[in-house]
A and B are shown apart, each in its own frame.
Chain A
Amino acid sequence: MGKKLRGADIVWESLVEEGVEVVFGYPGGAILPAYDALNNYREKIHHVLVRHEQGATHMADGYARASGKVGCAMATSGPGATNMVTGLATAMLDSSPIVCITGQVPSGAIGGDAFQEVDVTGVTIPVTKHNYLVTDVNEIASTIREAFYVARTGRPGPVLVDITKDALNAVIEDFEYPTYTISLPGYKPPAPVTNEQVVAALELINKAKKPVILAGHGVLISGAMNEVLELSRKGNIPVTTTLLGIGGVPASHPLNMGMMGMHGEACANHAIQEADLLIACGMRFDDRVTGNVSTYSPNSKKIHIEIDPTEINKNIKVDIALNTDLMVALRQINPGVTFNDRSEWLHRIRDWQEDANQRDILQMKTPTLMAAQAIRAIWEGTAGNALVVSDVGQHQMLECQYYQHESPYTLLTSGGLGTMGFSVPAAIGASFHKQDREIWVIVGDGCVQMTIMEFATAVQENANIKICIINNGYLGMVRQWQQLFYDARYAETPISSPDYVKLADAYGMPGYRVSKLEDAIPTMRKAQEHKGPVVIEFVVEQHDMVYPMVPAGADLHAMIRRPHRQFAEMEM
């Protein structure tokens, strides 16, 4: 015999059944019944009151990326739901599993432009993996259950469940949570690859002279870190990662060349261009990693291991497509991989690396604190063990270059959508996943001001996050484009900031300012001693650039490089 429950209670009942421990949300008219019912579930679910619904989605996303579980956010109808669109799109492009629950006007009022009515399922079709409109109390539990299933399986992604107020208010006399096996007629897990495909792939891998492994976000989503490392070690094959693939292969692995693409390592980009075989593992040949597709890796055969069939041959035509889960595919392939000396190829890569070392900003004496130095200091001060949440811009790319990630799931960043304002809320979300790691945010002065209201959430929840604002006084990455491609005509890129130390104080958290490199680590120590949110502002050189840079649409090997002795002759 089941329980007598309101639809609103069934929402929470379902979330508990799905293993949800924390919900990030904001109340309002249409979702009010659910907030009323929340009081019956306080012991099982913690609710975080955000300051803007975009923040709720990024928090759910950060929680999901850090924990591997599905993140959950809640909002009211109309403006509450539309505020979630950016967060849904962010999660969509980065394959992050979140479920957003929104209230909707009563079913009888739908279509009449009722107060706070928006066609939320219509608006969010392009930015969700799937979405639902629930108007019947009997369908709330089964729909939420299905939503979690769709969000976490296959290629993960965001799912939205829009529930009308009358369904939330209706009562079921005999409620029991469904237990049947979910089987959706149009939603199929990928089949394993055939033996012929494995043999064909091995043939290419074992005879390649200049192979490169491209490790993407799929490595982390599939959990195929060991398998990729084994492929690299067994075959003696160099690896490069995408932005979201960082951490999928330890930075210290001798064959890891670092990140590829627009601001990737020169050696990785050169290696891709000269390769005779690319083994693409859970990545999608985004334009930020390929540059000009018509000149991309022109002499290589390409193997693409990818769970999403729509990614195959989308941007780059491949020779062998293995449309399945990465871990499954590599477990089929790895046993047949043979060791290969490849000393000539590896030497060539080492030469490129040495050239890059000589251009490295850290090797130069600079007149002011550079963003790269600040980030390197954050790496040192956290012994390379932090969970870093970065935002979007120059500081994001420098983080990839100067923070060496040894472990998976230690870098959370908005890759595909490049959503400014992601980092602070995502870090708050990640802090609800129990873990030993410190959480450090690396955020620009532009980005932090996009979601700065979430400072209040961080303080209210005493989220143990350290927010490092890399303040260069500019929307730096856009300024860089204006300098390089628009003759330094800076239009609306200088940006003012509040006094972050005072602002931190006003929000009720410690705030520090660092302008000299030697102050970095001691200040970090102070921040580490405080259990709770802390702001550290790093005041850095305003006009530095991120190198290398492949201009948008240019050939991947046509990188703009830092001059060898940029600061040597500079007057101090």
Chain B
Amino acid sequence: MKQILIASVEDKPGVLNRVSSLFRRRNFNIESLAVGHSEVPGVSRMTIVTDEVEQLRRAIVRSNVEKLVNVIEVDDVTDLPCVVRETALIKVTADTTKRREVMDFAEMYRARIVDVANETLIVEITGESSKIDALIEVLTPIGISEIMRTGKIAMRRGAVAPRTNGATA
């Protein structure tokens, strides 16, 4: 199981660079990193997925990220109840004869067709990474020309919220 960290960071220039520089310097491997604004102005939130498995190593990764001056708070949610999602855009090479097949698969996986051109379709899917992997697998024989994935984003279930919630940065 991959380690999942949720970090609340100050929305300042260079913060993403500091986080990624830290991972490189400490020889931790980032599997994916997704970042965007949070509900608090001036605070961004990152979901960082690493391939660390050992508890002690995971604690060290967490404390290293938290030590960065611009990082407000880090939660290791690996073992906590969470909703974890990823979005992918998959461009399939399909002329009119194959379109039906792609659309059937999309429906089966609750994906959406978001673009149709003469030779291609773009399928958008949101879900657990394993579901995205499975859709990619069934579409591959038809012909995938491009894949774009966001990396995971995570949120704890229930009435728990990050400390930064409601605070001003």
Contact = CB atoms under 8 A, between A and B. Distances in A.
Contacts of A437: none
A312 B61 CA distance: 11
Given A126-B25, A313-B60, A314-B60, A185 B67 contact: no
A129 B69 CA distance: 8
A187 B69 contact: yes
B165 interface: no
Contacts of A309: 63, 66-67
B88 to A, nearest CB: 31
A122 B10 CA distance: 18
B73 A186 contact: yes
A126 B21 contact: yes
A185 B42 CA distance: 11
Interface in A97-139: 121-122, 125-126, 129-130, 133
A313 B14 contact: no
A314 B68 CA distance: 17
Interface in B49-69: 56, 59-60, 63-64, 66-69
B56 A185 contact: no
B9 interface: yes
A421 B73 CA distance: 39
Contacts of A186: 9-10, 66, 68-73
Interface in B22-47: 25
B169 interface: yes
B72 A185 contact: yes
A184 interface: yes
A150 B67 CA distance: 12
B63 to A, nearest CB: 4
Interface string B109-150: 000000000000000000000000000000000000000000
Contacts of A185: 10, 72, 164, 167, 169
A308 B25 CA distance: 17
Interface in A125-171: 125-126, 129-130, 133, 150
B27 to A, nearest CB: 12
Interface string A312-344: 111001000000000000000000000000000
Contact of B69 (A126, A150, A310): A150
Contacts of B73: 186
Nearest to B69: A130
Contacts of A130: 69
A315 to B, nearest CB: 10
A122 B20 CA distance: 12
Contacts of B66: 186, 309
Contacts of B69: 129-130, 150, 184, 186-187
A312 B66 CA distance: 14
B74 to A, nearest CB: 9
Nearest to B167: A185
B17 interface: yes
Given A121-B14, A125-B18, A185-B167, A310 B68 contact: no
Contacts of A121: 14
Interface string B1-18: 000000001100110011
A122 B64 CA distance: 19
Contact of B56 (A126, A129, A184, A313): A313
A313 B59 contact: yes
A309 B68 CA distance: 12
| Residue among A186, A309, A310 with most chain B CB within 10 A | A186
A185 B73 CA distance: 9
A310 B70 contact: no
A133 B9 CA distance: 18
A317 B56 contact: yes
B5 to A, nearest CB: 14
A187 B14 CA distance: 17
Nearest to A150: B69
Given A186-B9, A186-B73, A317-B56, A310 B17 contact: no
Contacts of A133: 13-14
A125 B59 CA distance: 22
| Residue among A121, A125, A133 with most chain B CB within 10 A | A125
Given A186-B73, A313-B59, A317-B56, A125 B17 contact: yes
Contact of A122 (B17, B56, B72, B167): B17
Contacts of A187: 69
A130 B18 CA distance: 9
A125 B10 CA distance: 16
B165 to A, nearest CB: 13
A266 to B, nearest CB: 31
Interface of B: 9-10, 13-14, 17-18, 21, 25, 56, 59-60, 63-64, 66-73, 164, 167, 169
9 tightest A-B CB contacts, nearest first: A309-B63, A186-B72, A130-B69, A185-B72, A313-B56, A310-B63, A186-B71, A125-B21, A310-B64
20 contacts: A122-B14, A125-B17, A126-B21, A130-B69, A184-B69, A185-B167, A186-B69, A186-B70, A186-B72, A186-B73, A308-B67, A309-B63, A310-B64, A310-B67, A312-B60, A312-B63, A313-B56, A313-B59, A313-B60, A314-B60
Interface of A: 121-122, 125-126, 129-130, 133, 150, 184-187, 308-310, 312-314, 317
Given A126-B21, A186-B66, A186-B71, 16 more contacts: A121-B14, A122-B14, A122-B17, A129-B69, A130-B69, A133-B13, A150-B69, A185-B72, A186-B72, A309-B63, A309-B67, A310-B60, A310-B63, A310-B67, A312-B60, A317-B56
